[in-house]
Structure 1
Amino acid sequence: MLEEYKKKYTKVVLQYSILNFNGNVLESDDALFLGFSNKYIGDIHPFFETLTSLLIAEENETIFSCIHLNIVDKTITADIILQTFNDGKNPLLIIHDLTSHYKNYQTTAQVRNESVINSQILELKNTYLKEKESFKNTFIANFSHELRDPLTGILTFTDILSKTNLDLQQKDYVQILNSSSSFLKKMIDDILDISKIESGNLELAIEPFNFHALLEEIKFTYKIIAEQKGLTFRFNFDEKLPKIIGGDAKRLQQVLTNLLDNAVKFTNHGGITFNVSLNQLRAQKASIHFEIIDTGIGIEKENLNKIFTSFTQVSRANEFKGTGLGLAIVKYLVELTKSKISVSSEYGKGSKFSTNINFISSSSLTLKESKNKKKSILDTSKKYNILLVEDSEITQLSVLKILASQGHFFLDIATKPDEVITRITSLDHEVDLVLMDIKLKEFQGDAIAKQIRKLPERHQKKVPIVAMTAKLYKEDLKRYKKAGIDDVLKKPFNESQLLEIITKNLK
C-alpha cells in the first residue's frame, strides 16, 4: 500500500543527463523532459548554450538558480546544476524542478511586499491626517483668536452704550447687540472646545464644589428662560444629594446647560423637566443620575446616532440656529468621566437625555475660600499707571474707554518689546501693572514678559503682568507661568472682568 501511494503521489523533480565536452547529450533519464539523448544541448533550449564554455576536464560545480525552461509543451522553473570531473569523466547536467517552491516564494514575497506597501500607505495616510488635523486645530485657534479682538470691542462698547441716555427703541437695539454678541461668543467657545477635544487638550479639573448651589443656579436661570418662551419648567432634586462633591463644576455646568439649551430650543409647547437623583453613595463616590425631558419636536429614529456628531443638526436644519456642536461636546465631556449619555425620543412628542456620573464624595471635602468674597478694593486716593501691550486698535480703545470711565487709572500703550522696557524703566512714573496681549503681530507677549523679569531693579522686574489671550490650553498656561506672568484674562472680556482682574493684581 505504501509503495503504491509513493508511486502515485511522489513527484519527479530531478532529471540527469550525461554530456560530452562538445555539449552533446550522451545519455538522459528523461525524467522531466523527453528526447534529450543524442541532441546538442543548445538546440534543446537557448539557455543551455551558456553551459558549453563550462565543459572542462576539472572538478567543478556550477549552479544557476530560478531558470525558466519552456521545452516542447512543458514549462518549469528550475535550478540547473553542471557538475564536471577530473580524469576525463563526462560532465553531468542536473535539472532540478523547483516550480512549486518558486511559486510559493513569489506568492510569499508578493504578500510581504504588499504588506510593506500597505503599511507605508497607512503610515503616509496617518501622517497626512495628523498634519491635516494639526492644520485644522491651528487654523481654528488662530481664527477664533482673531475674532476675539473685534468681539471684545463689541462687548465693551455695547456695555458703554447701554449706560448712556437712550430712548426705548435704542435700548432695544442695544439688547439685540448684547444678545447677538453673547451668541457669537458661545459659538466661538464651542468651536475652541471642539478643537481642544480633537487635539486631546481638554482635561477635567477635579475640585470640591457646592453641588446644591450649582443646581439652584441652573434651576433659577432656566426657569426664567423657559417662562419667557411660554414653557413650564419642572425640577426634581433628590433630598439625599450630597452638598459638597468633587468634580469639574465648570464642565458639569456646561453639560447640563447644553442639554437644557437644546431642550428649550426644540420645544415650542409644553415644558421641560430637570431631574437629579442619587443612585448610590459608596466607597467615597457618589453616582448621580441626571435627566432632562422635553415635549419638543423629538428626533427621528434613524437620526438618533447622528445627533452627537460635530457640526450636525438633524432637525429641520435651517429652522434652528446653532453650530451643532453642543451635543458633541456633551458626549465627550460625559465620556471623560467614564460615563455615557443616553437618549430616547419619539418624533413629534419629545426627547429624554440622561446620564449617570460619578463624583468624589467624602466628609473631608471642603470648599476653598472664594476669592470673590475677598474682593480687593482700589485705593481711590491715588491713580494707577497701567501699561497696555497691545497692537489691536479695537482692544486699545476698549481698554482705554473702560479705564477712563473709572477715574483711577492712567493708561500707556506699547506694541514692541523695546517700548515696553523703556516705559517700565522710565523714571517719570512707575508702572503699577502690565496688561500683555500674548499674540502680537511681530512678537509673543510671554517673550516680552521674560525680558521684564530680567530687569535689574526689583520694583521693575516684579511689576504684575496680566496676559490677555484666547489661548488657554494647559501647555499655554504653563508657558505663561514659566514666563513670569501673574494672571490671565480671557478674550473677549467685558468691563467687570477687566476691572476685577486689574484690582486683584494691583499691589
Structure 2
Amino acid sequence: MKPKILIVDDLVENLISLEAVLEDFDIELFRAFSGEEALKLSIKEEFALVILDVQMPGMNGYETLEMMRQRKKTKYLPVIFVSAIHQSDLHIIKGIETGAVDFIPKPIIPDILKGKVRVFLDLYLQRAKLDYLLAEMEQANLNLKIAKDKAEEATRTKSMFLANMSHEIRTPLNGVIGISKLLQKSELTDDQKELLNIVTNSGENLLMIINDILDFSKIESGQIQFETIDFKLQELVENVFQLMKFKAIEKGIKFNYSIAEDVPEFLCGDPLRINQILMNLVNNAIKFTHQGKVEIHIELVDRHESMTRVLFRVIDTGIGISEEGKLMLFKEFSQSETSITRKYGGTGLGLAISQNLVCLMNGEINVNSEIGQGSEFWFRLPLKEASQQLEEKKTQQIHHHHDLRILLAEDNAINQRVCELTLRQLGYACDVANNGEEAVAMHQDSAYDLILMDMQMPVLNGIQATRMIRVMDKDKLVKHPVYITAVTANSLVEEQKDCLLAGMNNFLSKPFSEKDLLTVLQEVIQTKIKKNQPEHECIQ
C-alpha cells in the first residue's frame, strides 16, 4: 500500500503546485482546503506526512496542529509548515514549538521540499516495516503460547493416561508376581518350580516394560528426580551382577565384572539411576549374546579436585550392530533392526532412557560394535568422591512384634489375599477394609499402628481417607498418629507428593517386594519402640 500524504492549503493553485512537486514520489496525495477538513481526514486516514499551510481563514495552521497533537492518533504525525510568513524567526520558532518537524518558507524551492519529504517517507516506511515485524513477532509469540499450552495439556493428558494404565496393569500384575513369590517358598516338584519360574520371570519382564514406559514419560515431562548420596561402587555393581547372573546361566554364557584399582571405592551421585543404566545395558548384552561372554568393566578416566570421571563398559560377544542399526540406537520406541523386535521383543525404550539419564547427569554414552563381532556399550559419568568413607552398616534384625495392629485398605480381592499372605509369612496379621470409608470407620473404632492404604478405592480414595484420619486424630489429640503407607499401582512423582501432602508417611509401589514391606514394618516397629520409651524427667 502506498504511503499517504495530506497537503493543506486554502488556495487550489498552491495545492496544484505542491502536487506537481511531489508527482515523482510513489505516494497517494490527499487535499484539504481548511484546518477543519484536515482534522477530519487525519482521523479517517493513516498519513505518513502532512504539509500544512500556516495562513488559512478560520482555523489557521498553528491551531490545526495544536488540535492534532491533542489526539492520540495524530499526536506524533510528522507535520511540515509552509508559509509566506518568513520575515521573522519568531514564526518559525512558533511553528516548531507547536509541534511541527520543519518550516519551509514560500515560494517553495522544489528540491528542498523533495529532500525533506524523502526523509520522512523513508522514516515512515521503516516504521511501517518495524510495526509489521512487531506484529509478526506478537503473532508468533501467540502461536508459541498456544502451541506450548497444547503441548502442556497433551503432556498432562498423557501422564494421566499412563498413570491410569499403570494402575490398571500393575494391580493384576501385583497379584501374579505376589502369588508366584509366595508359591516359590512352598514345597514344589522340579517341574512345578520350572513353570513357576516362567510365570515369575514373565511377570517381572512385563513390569520392566511398564517401568520403561513410565520412566520415559517422566523424563519427557521433566519429572525425573536425581539423588546425590554417598554409595559404595562395589555394592552397586555386585547388585547388578547378582540380579542378572541367572539370565546368563540360563543362556550358558559367562558373566563377570571388574573394577580397576584406582577407581574410588566410595562415590557420591545417584546409585539408583546408575544401577538402572547398567541393568539396561547388561540386560541387552545378555539378550543379544548366544555364546561367549558378557563383561562389565569399570575404569577411572581422570580426577579433578573432588570430581572423578568414571567409565562404565558393558562388553559382549553377541550379534553386533550394523552401521545403519547404530543410527537407530538411543531413539525412543526403536530397535537397531526391524527384525529385532519380532525376534527378541522389548519396547525400544531402554537405551533411550539410559541416554537421557546419562545426559541429565552430565555424562556421555555411546557404542562400539560390528555385525557378528559383539558390542561395547559405554558411558562416562562425572561423580564426586564421597566426603568420608561410608561406615559399613550391619543390618540389624528387628524381632517381629506380633502385637502390631495392621489395617489393609484395598478394594481388589486378589491384592487383599496377596498382602494378607505376605504379612502372615512375616509373622503378622491384618484387618481388611474394602474402601476408604470402611478404613476411616475401622480406625475410629480401633486405633491401628499401621495402615496400608490403597490410593484408588470406591466411596473414599486413599488420599481422602488419609486426610479424614489425620483430622480425626488431631481432634482426638492423639499423641502418636497412626503410620500410613500408600500401597498403590501409581508411581508418578505427583502422586507420591500428593500422598505425603495428605499426611502419609511412606509410599510403596505395586508390585512391592517382601523386602520393601519388611522395611516399612521395621520402621513402624522402631517408631513404636520410641513411643513406649519413658520420658526422662529433668533433675532440678
| TM-score, L = length of structure 1 | 0.78
Aligned ranges 1:198-213 → 2 under 5 Å: 198-213=220-235
Query: Which protein has the bigger helix share?
Result: 2
Tell whether the 8 Å contact from 1:19 to 1:93 is kept in structure 2 after alignment: no
1:397-426: per-residue Cα shift (whole Å, max 9, x none)?
322343456664142324133x33321232
The structure 2 residue matched to 1:334, chosen from 339, 342, 358, is 358
Do structure 1's residue 85 and structure 2's residue 75 form an aligned pair?
no
Quick one: which amino acid aligns to residue 360 of structure 1? K
Q: How many residues align?
A: 464
- The CA distance in 2 between the partners of 1:160 and 1:27, in whole Å, is 105
SS of the counterpart of 2:378?
Answer: strand
Quick one: which amino acid aligns to residue 152 of structure 1? N
Aligned ranges 1:172-187 → 2 under 5 Å: 172-187=194-209
Quick one: which amino acid aligns to residue 316 of structure 2? D
Do structure 1's residue 395 and structure 2's residue 412 form an aligned pair?
no
Do structure 1's residue 31 and structure 2's residue 21 form an aligned pair?
yes
- The CA distance in 1 between the partners of 2:57 and 2:229, in whole Å, is 93
Quick one: which amino acid aligns to residue 450 of structure 2? L
- The CA distance in 2 between the partners of 1:261 and 1:301, in whole Å, is 22
Aligned ranges 1:96-245 → 2 under 5 Å: 102-163=124-185, 166-245=188-267
Q: 1:255 to 1:170 in 2, by over 3 A?
A: same
Superposed displacement of residue 430, structure 1: 4.5
Superposed displacement of residue 152, structure 1: 0.9
The structure 2 residue matched to 1:365, chosen from 358, 381, 389, is 389
Percent identical: 29
Do structure 1's residue 290 and structure 2's residue 307 form an aligned pair?
no
| Structure 2 residue aligned with 1:349 | 373
- More displaced, 266-275 or 116-125? 266-275
Superposed displacement of residue 363, structure 1: 6.4
Q: 1:18 to 1:302 in 2, by over 3 A?
A: same
| Structure 2 residue aligned with 1:453 | 470
Quick one: which amino acid aligns to residue 400 of structure 1? E
- The CA distance in 1 between the partners of 2:462 and 2:15, in whole Å, is 94
Aligned ranges 1:340-489 → 2 under 5 Å: 340-362=364-386, 364-367=388-391, 369=393, 373-380=395-402, 382=403, 384-404=404-424, 408-417=428-437, 419-426=438-445, 429-454=446-471, 455=473, 456-457=475-476, 462-472=481-491, 476-489=495-508
Q: 1:24 to 1:343 in 2, by over 3 A?
A: same
Tell whether the 8 Å contact from 2:8 to 2:53 is kept in structure 1 after alignment: no
SS of the counterpart of 2:328?
Answer: coil
SS of the counterpart of 2:377?
Answer: strand
- More displaced, 476-485 or 329-338? 476-485
Superposed displacement of residue 153, structure 1: 0.9
Quick one: which amino acid aligns to residue 377 of structure 2? F
Superposed displacement of residue 166, structure 1: 4.8
Q: 1:111 to 1:413 in 2, by over 3 A?
A: same
Query: Which protein has the bigger strand share?
Result: 1
Unaligned runs of 5+ in 1: 1-12, 35-44, 69-75
1:309-368: per-residue Cα shift (whole Å, max 9, x none)?
222212223222111111122112222321111222223322222222232324623247
- The CA distance in 2 between the partners of 1:285 and 1:27, in whole Å, is 83
- The CA distance in 2 between the partners of 1:159 and 1:320, in whole Å, is 26
| Structure 2 residue aligned with 1:38 | none
- More displaced, 223-232 or 402-411? 402-411
Tell whether the 8 Å contact from 2:262 to 2:300 is kept in structure 1 after alignment: yes
| Structure 2 residue aligned with 1:279 | 301
Tell whether the 8 Å contact from 1:64 to 1:81 is kept in structure 2 after alignment: no
Tell whether the 8 Å contact from 2:256 to 2:296 is kept in structure 1 after alignment: yes
- More displaced, 441-450 or 316-325? 441-450
Superposed displacement of residue 277, structure 1: 1.5
| TM-score, L = length of structure 2 | 0.73
Q: 1:55 to 1:395 in 2, by over 3 A?
A: closer
Tell whether the 8 Å contact from 2:366 to 2:377 is kept in structure 1 after alignment: yes
Quick one: which amino acid aligns to residue 388 of structure 1? L
Superposed displacement of residue 450, structure 1: 3.3
Q: 1:80 to 1:225 in 2, by over 3 A?
A: same
CA RMSD of aligned residues (A): 4.0
Quick one: which amino acid aligns to residue 238 of structure 2? E
Tell whether the 8 Å contact from 1:246 to 1:361 is kept in structure 2 after alignment: yes
Aligned ranges 1:44-59 → 2 under 5 Å: 48=31, 51=32, 54=34
- More displaced, 343-352 or 213-222? 213-222
Q: 1:84 to 1:468 in 2, by over 3 A?
A: same
Q: 1:460 to 1:402 in 2, by over 3 A?
A: farther
Superposed displacement of residue 144, structure 1: 0.8
Q: 1:66 to 1:267 in 2, by over 3 A?
A: farther
Tell whether the 8 Å contact from 2:230 to 2:386 is kept in structure 1 after alignment: no
| Structure 2 residue aligned with 1:3 | none
Tell whether the 8 Å contact from 2:273 to 2:357 is kept in structure 1 after alignment: yes
Unaligned runs of 5+ in 2: 59-82, 85-105, 529-540
Q: 1:150 to 1:79 in 2, by over 3 A?
A: same
Q: 1:84 to 1:273 in 2, by over 3 A?
A: same
- The CA distance in 1 between the partners of 2:273 and 2:279, in whole Å, is 10
Superposed displacement of residue 63, structure 1: 8.5
Tell whether the 8 Å contact from 1:65 to 1:78 is kept in structure 2 after alignment: no
- The CA distance in 1 between the partners of 2:246 and 2:467, in whole Å, is 48
1:140-178: per-residue Cα shift (whole Å, max 9, x none)?
122212222111111122234445565554433322211
| Structure 1 residue aligned with 2:344 | 320
Tell whether the 8 Å contact from 1:18 to 1:27 is kept in structure 2 after alignment: no
